[in-house]
Structure 1
Amino acid sequence: MSQNDEEKKEEVKEEKKEEIEEKKFDLTDENDFLMSSSINEMEMIREEIGKSQPLVSDPKPLEHLLKEFNDHSNYRRQIETLITNKQHSAYRQLRADGNCFYRAFLLGLFETVEATKNEQILETVTKNVVTSNDRLVKFGYEQFALSEFYESFMDELALYQSILSSDDSSGVNIAESTAVQKLSDESHVELFVLCRSLNEAKVFFNLKKQSNYLIFWARMLTSLQMQENEKHFSQFVQGKTFREFLQTDVEAVHAEADHPQFCALSMAIEVPVRVFCLENVETGGPQVVTIPENGQPLFDLLYRPGHYDILYRKS
């Protein structure tokens, strides 16, 4: 074979190589575009939900749930059982934005404190939360990335402790709390301080920016509990590493919570909860699960696939 033939052969190889690389590049671009489009679509859906649904609704009669399941006889049967059992008077609907479990859990906790004036609940939660920042740092998290969220959560606990330990809220310096410092819209400051002084958790959790600080720390408490008990929680992870699961299914904003996350948060701060589960089954009423099993639940949640609301017990 002549030198010219060899050179031509090499040129053809190089051209094919370049063509393959171009195809790979195009494919990567296409995948990036599809992923970006999917993310944008999810954001648009969340925005539409946000326009039509408050973060936290007013209490609604249980009969209202029947309207949501007009075409689902199995769910309607379980809701009717819930109504006829007469254990609950109402439910509070939360926005379906991926944060509903954490918002429901925290709102249920603080509303229980408001209603019962039980300082022991706060002491137990505080005991578990106060060390959480340092424990997370031991797992490799950066202190500076965590501190604001941690401080916001501790501020909330301290606020309730101050209110419960005084005859009125006049001595509580709410305006100096970390959460107030984060308010970018001055028109919200007055409302925020008012709702905190009135001890209205339901108002606070309708303030997206401020309540999201607490929700994020609830996610980190959940992640911490799982990491400190990896042997137990890793058995629930499939198709990804344990670290990937924590990043995508626990810590990520808008990541929906499943049973493992529920158990982890309840265990992390020692707050027992009872959940009534609506499932697509042919017989019976809602499944009732208490977490932990031997605990005395402080409040009740309502679960239907992919979503949590709060159930209110009859007095």
Structure 2
Amino acid sequence: MFYYCHYTIYFRFNLANDCSSQTEPGQFVSSREEISTYLLEVEAAKYREICSQYKYMRKIRGDGNCFYRALCFGHLESLLQNDRALQRFKETVKQSGKELLAAGFDESSFKDMLDMFVGVLEQCEADEQGDTLLQLFNEQTTSDSMVQYLRLLTSAYLQNHADFFSHFVEAPSLKVYCTREVETMAMECDHVDILALSEALGVSIHIASVEGGDGHRLAHHTIPEGAEPCLHLLYKTAHYDILYPHCH
């Protein structure tokens, strides 16, 4: 079921890629750093608001896959200290293959990626500090495979719930949209993709957006609306990075 208000459904993210927010060469996910290290170009009032709510930030490579990579890394990192929650998420990922099959994907097109995803989760079970997770996400084959699987899962969920999502897609058909915009690597995500993946994985997300708002304050979006977010992201010039609240 979906309970999103209209302002959330019609909130559309700018699709221009942000080349100003970059990790170090060879990195897909950076180390966690004090937030004061970054964001020097953000308007002063918004910068103060970010610093008042968040202490750390982790940068994600600006390659068009930043949302998927940020969601995956950030959520897995949040589960490292909770064995039961990590087990539940691993089961969710294992079962997600049924979503792809229901949408008509051949198992051979995603089985290897799904197996790699589950393998990363199993390695994370013995990793309390996050060192293994960061290492795996900076290995291109592993990192990109997980992103690609999330793209396929998003596409499958959109198509399996076409009665809802087709109203919010600007394309000849939902299938065309999924093939061109969702399944293809390096294509920036749109709001419908975020809603779909959040629902498919059961992950609640809070997005603090430098874009929008009243000009001097951040715009805040929680997906699904009213949920307690387990992941905080900063949206700036079509790019997503991971934020860490002061209480963490």
TM-score after normalising by structure 1? 0.65
Paired residue secondary structure (2:62): coil
Whether 2:189 is the aligned partner of 1:257: answer yes
Bigger relative CO (Cα 8 Å, ≥ 6 apart): 2
Structure-to-structure mapping, 1:68-107, within 5 angstroms: 68-69=41-42, 75-83=43-51, 85=52, 87-107=53-73
CA distance in 1, matches of 2:114, 2:164: 26
Relative to 1, partners in 2 of residues 1:245 and 1:88: Cα closer, same or farther, differing over 3 Å?
A: same
Aligned residues: 228
Matched, 1:119 2:83: yes
**Residue 120 of structure 2 is aligned to residue 156 of structure 1:** yes
Letter in 1 for 2:153: L
What residue identity is the alignment partner of 2:46? Q
Which consecutive residues of structure 2, in runs of 5 or more, have no partner in the other structure?
1-18
Superposed displacement of residue 309, structure 1: 0.1
What are the residue-to-residue correspondences of 1:124-163 with 2, within 5 Å? 124-161=88-125, 163=126
How far apart in 2 are the matches of 1:93 and 1:278? 15
**Distance change >3 Å, CA 98–CA 231, structure 1 → 2:** same
Other structure's SS at 1:212 match: helix
How far apart, CA to CA, are the structure 2 residues paired with 1:52 and 1:119? 33
Give the superposition deviation at 1:51. 7.8
2:23–2:29 contact (8 Å) kept in structure 1? no
Q: C-alpha deviations, 1:205-243, integer Å up to 9, x for none? A: 111111111111111221122122112211111133100
Aligned equivalent of 1:227: 159
- CA 1:255–1:129 in 2, change beyond 3 Å: closer, same or farther? same
More helix by share: 1
The equivalent residue for 1:267 is 199
**Deviations 1:152-189 (CA, angstroms, capped at 9, x unpaired):** 1122223334x28xxx9xxxxxxxxxxxxxxxxxxxxx
Q: Partner of 2:145 in structure 1?
A: 213
Q: CA RMSD in A?
A: 2.6
